[in-house]
Structure 1
């Protein structure tokens, strides 16, 4: 599937880690695509924009805000359309991991907050975007794209990860249902693997206390043995899916970033660590 030369792509959670790598890869992969970045850390987004060339700056807009706030969602959609005229693709990358805790001790209020961030804000943003995505798809003659960043925790047990894992399972279902319901939108959910980001630092230094010692040790060893993926590896897959579009036969699926069916979207190669 070929990419439109002037796609407009939203990236959430774009101030650091995989989100930032996605923005960098999109700018490197296309001379004409426009990018809208959103995150709570406005200073980090500004630093990223300041690091760009003047030509690149003209292709980037950012919105600083919390995606669980309806005002941020409205601002994101309104400013994206006002600035660039349309929206072709969205990468739903923002998410949180806390609380990590066993069922008998988990703080339900924290778990609800996690679901607000990891799932309900995605549903609400998808709802707000659908009219624009449909219209853009009609104008450009190609389906719009929604890429949801998921996790292996959506289908594999990690000790103490009830909240995060169940939220990501819900995200997989969101992608599946959206793709089935919308003829003008292709959706996919991607497992990025174990990535060298701030989330992993937080697991090693703080959140691991909610896990059994042997389970926590595995995450420490991922780091010590150099087994963490660079953010640009799975980030590149998500970025190129947003840029090129999700093939019809992959619509609605949950796939590992290194799945063979995604070989044409491997920006750095699936074995890069």
Structure 2
């Protein structure tokens, strides 16, 4: 049993934000277990890999039990696993596709949380950090389902934090904006495309591609995770990066109509049609 280093578990650590976060936690002195749905030949030497599918109760419970068997405790859980749907109208996704994105992005996070909380409560210490998004407090036209999952993550996290705080556990949300990873390349297309949205889908794909040129590197998110993990009195929410911080301020202080027009202008939508 390892009692020297705090033990961290990071989901979706095969690439992108999850992998960089796992590597940075390891450099900060954590013993890190990253999860992946499949065994990868490119697993980095800085952390160990567990096979885990957040969509499966059995897989989640088995992986968490194995980690506790090896280490005896879990000090930090970073819920990062998730996917997106390519820019599309909300009605272009079937109910099956809507359930699928919620099952991974939201219910998968709940599965992981419920699996580690008994151990954290028993040891009366632990921190759960959920990778949310600025889309957890802002709307995103043509990404309604993804934004809905991130709004759900934010609401669940803040509510849960109040419940478990008296047991020595804290729950935190990290809210990045656009981040340079393979996330966009791995987005799935809508499963029932509608011709009325074809032009805007193509236009938005180009707009987002241009925005991503200046997107933050994943280490910006990893730094926010480390900051929140180390804080003695953590905030409930941490934005990651300059743009995310600016958007948080706009959401808080800007008049609703100005924010509405800004969102439409940035995405190349008709700014003459507003709330």
- Per the normalisation by structure 2, the TM-score is 0.76
Corresponding position: 1:40 with 2:24: no
CA contact (8 A) 2:86 2:189 kept: no
Tell me the SS of whatever aligns to 1:156: coil
CA distance in 1, matches of 2:52, 2:27: 26
CA distance in 2, matches of 1:47, 1:104: 38
Cα displacement string for residues 103-129 of structure 1 (whole angstroms, at most 9, x for unaligned residues): 333211101011000001111221121
Structure 1 residue 199: Cα displacement = 1.4
123, 126, 130: which one pairs with 1:148?
130
Structure 1 residue 12: Cα displacement = 0.3
CA distance in 2, matches of 1:116, 1:238: 23
CA distance in 1, matches of 2:208, 2:132: 18
CA contact (8 A) 2:87 2:201 kept: no
Look up the match of 2:273. none
Corresponding position: 1:220 with 2:199: no
CA distance in 1, matches of 2:62, 2:237: 30
Report the number of matched residues.
Answer: 233
Larger radius of gyration: 2
The root-mean-square deviation of aligned C-alpha atoms, in Å, is 2.6
CA contact (8 A) 2:228 2:234 kept: no
Off by >6 Å, runs of 4+ in structure 1? 205-210
173, 178, 188: which one pairs with 2:155?
173
Structure 1 residue 81: Cα displacement = 0.7
CA distance in 2, matches of 1:210, 1:100: 11
Tell me the SS of whatever aligns to 2:49: strand
123, 144, 147: which one pairs with 1:162?
144
Look up the match of 2:25. 26
Structure 1 residue 47: Cα displacement = 2.2
Structure 1 residue 14: Cα displacement = 0.3
CA contact (8 A) 2:90 2:143 kept: no
Structure 1 residue 136: Cα displacement = 2.6
Structure 1 residue 218: Cα displacement = 2.4
Tell me the SS of whatever aligns to 2:184: helix
Look up the match of 1:191. 175
CA distance in 2, matches of 1:99, 1:108: 16
Structure 1 residue 153: Cα displacement = 1.6
Look up the match of 2:219. 232
- Per the normalisation by structure 1, the TM-score is 0.77
Look up the match of 1:80. 67
CA distance in 2, matches of 1:11, 1:209: 37
Tell me the SS of whatever aligns to 1:201: coil
Look up the match of 2:257. none
CA contact (8 A) 1:159 1:211 kept: no
Look up the match of 1:254. 237
Structure 1 residue 190: Cα displacement = 0.9
Structure 1 residue 211: Cα displacement = 5.1
Tell me the SS of whatever aligns to 1:42: coil
Question: Measured at CA, do residues 48 and 239 of structure 1 come closer, stay the same or move farther in structure 2, by a change above 3 Å?
Answer: farther
CA contact (8 A) 2:220 2:241 kept: no
Structure 1 residue 236: Cα displacement = 2.3
